[in-house]
Amino acid sequence: MRPPARRGSPQSGKAGAPAPATFSLPVRVYYQDTDAGGVVFHGRYLNFFERARTEWLRQLGFDVRQLAEDEGVLFIVRELRVSYLRPAQVDDMLTVTATVENLGRAQFTLDQRVLRGADLLVRGSVNLACVGVRGLKPARVPPRVYGALGLSAGQEITHEEEA
């Protein structure tokens, strides 16, 4: 699922590259998130992942609606892998995280996790593709977004890479 590591990415072993930044979002489990037994329904974790990704982009300075209007791009889920390790239950306080795992020109992969305290409940790898609003054809991640993602991933982005 992971494309080859890009120059300057944490996976490439470049000395001095900062560690990837992890975004965290607190989420309370409500009754509507659970089945009749009070256990979180498996599909709700995908909603938690989506919420964390949206808030993470907002924290980086990008509103998804503005990206669609101003840059003409959307980020769509291309591939998703999820491991369910432990269940969450009604009224649990969870932390949902997002960390850049890999960054490409037209797509990027996030490591996403759901934790209850220090306990890892769910882990996902989410590959997002950048597509044009019209036609939904692959598009390059806009330079300012690419730069912010690179910094979040601990990459050093050069002017050549931004072009």
Q: Which two tokens stand for residue 31?
A: 């009754």
Closest CA to 60 of 23, 34, 32, 115: 23
Query: For 66-95, what is the mean pLDDT?
Result: 97
Report yes or no on whether pTM surpasses 0.85. no
Give the percent of the chain with pLDDT over 90.
79
CA distance 111 to 107: 14
| Catalytic-residue membership of 35 | yes
Which residue, among 38, 45, 46, 21, has the nearest Cα to 101 in the 3D structure? 21
Catalytic residue among 33, 35, 63, 70: 35
In angstroms, the CA 3 to CA 97 distance is 21
Mean pLDDT score, 14-26: 72
Secondary structure of the chain in HEC code, one letter for each residue: CCCCCCCCCHHHCCCCCCCCCEEEEEEECCHHHECCCCEECCCHHHHHHHHHHHHHHHHCCCCHHHHHHHHCEEEEEEEEEEEECCCCECCCEEEEEEEEEEECCCEEEEEEEEEECCEEEEEEEEEEEEEECCCCCECCCCHHHHHHHHHHCCCCCCHHHHC
Task: For residue range 32-75, list pLDDT tens digits in order.
Answer: 999 999 999 999 999 999 999 999 999 999 999 999 999 999 99
112 with 121: CB under 8 angstroms?
no
**Taking the domains of the chain in order of start, what are their residue ranges?**
22-158
Angle (nearest 5°) at CA 79 between 78 and 82 = 145
Q: Report the CATH number of the 22-158 domain.
A: 3.10.129.10
Per the listing, tokens 């965290």 go with: 24
Q: Assign 154 a pLDDT band (cuts: 50, 70, 90).
A: confident
